[in-house]
């Protein structure tokens, strides 16, 4: 019965290996090689994928360049707007299929991938709306004579978009929608583990009327991303992924001084003051980490709780975590599906071992699910570690699994200093009824988002991004379309 819920994705999986998508059609990888991705729920092979390399990147970039200078350059902003709206309509019509592909491919519960529908659609429609917005200004100047100066906004050119596996469809759309609205062309490199929905999306874009070469998809390993980052024909890289790979992209992109936007890792503090509405904060603090099995960049993994309520609060969070259902992602009752891959499972389990060895106390979870029917999939129980101190690795390093590190604190200045004592600065949460505390924390936290009495609220209109080593550039909002535009100053001596 649960498998039936995933049938929407089965047609796309039929046939031979999934090919690269270049210039509006499928094409085999230059090497002729393929690789398999597994279904993380069962550990069984799911799909055979073309293993792209540098030569494929050359072909895709050439197609994107030709489109940028040719057909796409002739499409007016209003035309791009209409196209994005048509893409949104097709994504809406085929959404169940896209959600099923992501669930099969990365294990997120179907309830979650389906709930991301509104996010995917609102991104496409928001940036459709903005396609006609970029404009320059006429600016008075002090040059003698009658010299007019004005600015125009122009698309930056060919964009390499590199995405991770934790939200395959929406993370791709998040980059593609503003890039197309700005008039850029795109070579998308999805995570090697989760390319399916990106390929289907590219087909839908063609069906919507997007000219060939405007959106290309090259599947394969990190070498594809590295080749895009170094390619002289690529004008900008927009990347979401680990800080480690982000740093490699910065180095690789130096050759032609590419524009970069980097959405990198997080170790976000979620801070609960004793005066907070604890009934609201308990489930929110738990789901700030357990949603998507902890595979969320802005997860509130450092849970600071004021000492007066610390014991009670962490026990309540652990009790909440213990009753969450870990299991088949197609089952509507499931709260946590598997982790994305065996390799990622090993990483998360190694951090559970580190937590135990460092002397943290697991109030719930703390282990892999080994009993049937989960023994062949990549399942981990939601974990709350108490008695964590700031120096422990589980309090400093990104685990990217359902693991909360709970730390007590005494006063506001202390917690602000400790929360900011991290190289990363993506999200942050504050729970309090005091307006003064809320303001002081919001102003003091060094992070791209501060959520007060909520966590991970998102909207296509509100910018999101990192401070410090969590990256630079912003996604969503007006800021995001600017990331794909150049400003040209024109001087006219008349
Ligand atoms: P990753 O950095 O390993 O891989 C991301 C992408 O980069 C993949 O497509 C991969 O193939 C590609 N890649 C690998 N090596 C490359 C290279 N040398 N050059 C260019 N590209 C290369 O990340 P992941 O494991 O897929 O995803 C998890 C990470 O993503 C976490 O650190 C998480 O915090 C981060 N993330 C950040 C955000 C955000 O918005 N800030 C959102 C989601 C995930």
- ipTM score here? 0.96
Specify the DSSP class assigned to residue 18: B
| Cα–Cα distance for residue pair 261/471, rounded to 1 Å | 7
Q: Which atom of ligand 1 is nearest to the CA of 248?
A: 18
Q: Whole-angstrom Cα distance, residue 416 to residue 220?
A: 42
**Looking at residue 368, what DSSP letter applies?**
B
Ligand 1: which residues within 6 Å by Cβ? 162-166, 189, 191-192, 221-222, 225-226, 229, 240-242, 245, 248-249, 263-266, 297, 398, 400, 426, 466, 471
Shortest-distance Cα residue to atom 9 of ligand 1: 191
Mutate to test the pocket of ligand 1, among 163, 164, 253, 422 (most ligand atoms within 8 A of CB): 164
Residue 412 token pair: 């506001």
Which one of the listed residues 97, 192, 263, 483 is annotated catalytic? Answer: 263
205: pLDDT strictly greater than 90: yes
CA 378 to CA 106: how far, in whole Å? 10
Q: Whose CA is nearest to atom 21 of ligand 1?
A: 225
Model confidence at 371, in pLDDT bands (50, 70, 90)? Answer: confident
CB of 212 closer than 8 Å to CB of 66: no
CA gap 486, 136 in Å, rounded = 10
Ligand 1 mean position to 241 CA, how many Å? Answer: 2
What's the CA-to-centroid distance between 288 and ligand 1, angstroms?
Answer: 20
- Residue 451 buriedness (CB in 10 A; 0-12 / 13-18 / 19+): buried
Confidence of residue 303 (pLDDT cuts 50, 70, 90): very high
Q: Is 263 a catalytic residue?
A: yes
The per-residue pLDDT of the chain, averaged, comes to: 97
Q: Where are the beta strands (DSSP E) in 329-447?
A: 361-364, 383-386, 403-409, 424-425, 429-431
pLDDT in tens, 107-130: 999 999 999 999 999 999 999 999
pLDDT one-digit tens code per residue, 285-295? 999 999 999 99
pLDDT in the model for residue 52: 98
pLDDT of 333 > 90? The answer is: yes
pTM for this prediction: 0.97
Q: Which atom of ligand 1 is nearest to the CA of 243?
A: 32
% of the chain with per-residue pLDDT over 90 = 95
* Integer Rg of the chain from CA: 23
What span, in angstroms and rounded, lies between the C-alpha atoms of 288 and 292? Answer: 10
């Amino acid at each position: 019965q649960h498998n039936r819920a995933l049938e929407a994705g089965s047609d796309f999986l039929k046939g031979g290996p999934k090919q690269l998508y270049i210039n509006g059609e499928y094409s085999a990888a230059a090497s002729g090689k393929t690789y398999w991705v597994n279904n993380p729920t069962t550990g069984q092979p799911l799909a055979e994928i073309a293993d792209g390399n540098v030569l494929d990147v050359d072909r895709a970039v050439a197609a994107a360049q030709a489109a940028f200078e040719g057909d796409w350059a002739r499409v007016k902003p209003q035309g791009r707007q209409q196209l994005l709206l048509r893409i949104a309509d097709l994504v809406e019509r085929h959404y169940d299929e896209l959600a099923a592909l992501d669930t099969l491919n990365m294990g997120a519960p179907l309830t979650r991938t389906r709930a991301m529908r509104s996010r995917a659609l609102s991104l496409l429609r928001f940036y459709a709306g903005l396609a006609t917005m970029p404009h320059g200004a006429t600016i008075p100047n002090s040059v003698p004579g009658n010299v007019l100066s004005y600015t125009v906004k122009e698309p930056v050119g060919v964009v390499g978009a590199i995405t991770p596996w934790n939200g395959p469809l929406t993370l791709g759309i998040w980059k593609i929608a503003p890039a197309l609205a700005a008039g850029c062309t795109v070579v998308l490199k999805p995570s090697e583990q989760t390319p399916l929905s990106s390929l289907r999306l590219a087909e839908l874009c063609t069906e919507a009327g997007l000219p060939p070469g405007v959106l290309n998809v090259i599947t394969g390993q990190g070498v594809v991303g590295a080749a895009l980052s170094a390619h002289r024909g690529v004008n900008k890289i927009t990347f979401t992924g680990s800080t480690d790979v982000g740093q490699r992209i910065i180095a690789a992109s130096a050759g032609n001084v590419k524009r970069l936007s980097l959405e990198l890792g997080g170790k976000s503090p979620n801070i609960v003051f004793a005066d907070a509405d604890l009934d609201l904060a308990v489930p929110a603090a738990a789901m700030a980490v357990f949603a998507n099995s902890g595979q969320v960049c802005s997860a509130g993994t450092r849970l600071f709780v004021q000492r007066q309520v610390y014991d009670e609060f962490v026990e309540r969070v652990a009790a909440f975590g213990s009753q969450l259902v870990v299991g088949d992602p197609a089952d509507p009752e499931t709260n946590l599906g598997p982790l994305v891959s065996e390799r990622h499972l090993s990483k998360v389990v190694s951090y559970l071992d580190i937590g135990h060895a460092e002397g943290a106390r697991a109030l719930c979870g703390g282990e892999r699910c080994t009993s049937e029917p989960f023994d062949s999939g990549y399942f981990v129980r939601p974990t709350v570690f108490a008695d964590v101190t700031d120096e422990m690795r589980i309090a400093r390093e990104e685990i990217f699994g359902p693991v909360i590190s709970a730390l007590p604190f005494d006063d506001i200045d202390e917690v602000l200093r400790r929360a900011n004592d991290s190289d990363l600065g993506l999200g942050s949460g504050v729970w309090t009824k005091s307006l003064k505390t809320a303001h002081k924390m919001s102003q003091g936290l060094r992070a791209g988002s501060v959520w007060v009495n909520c966590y991970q609220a998102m909207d296509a209109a509100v910018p999101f991004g990192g401070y410090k080593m969590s990256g630079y550039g912003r996604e969503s909002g007006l800021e995001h379309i600017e990331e794909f535009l150049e400003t040209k100053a024109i001087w006219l001596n008349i």
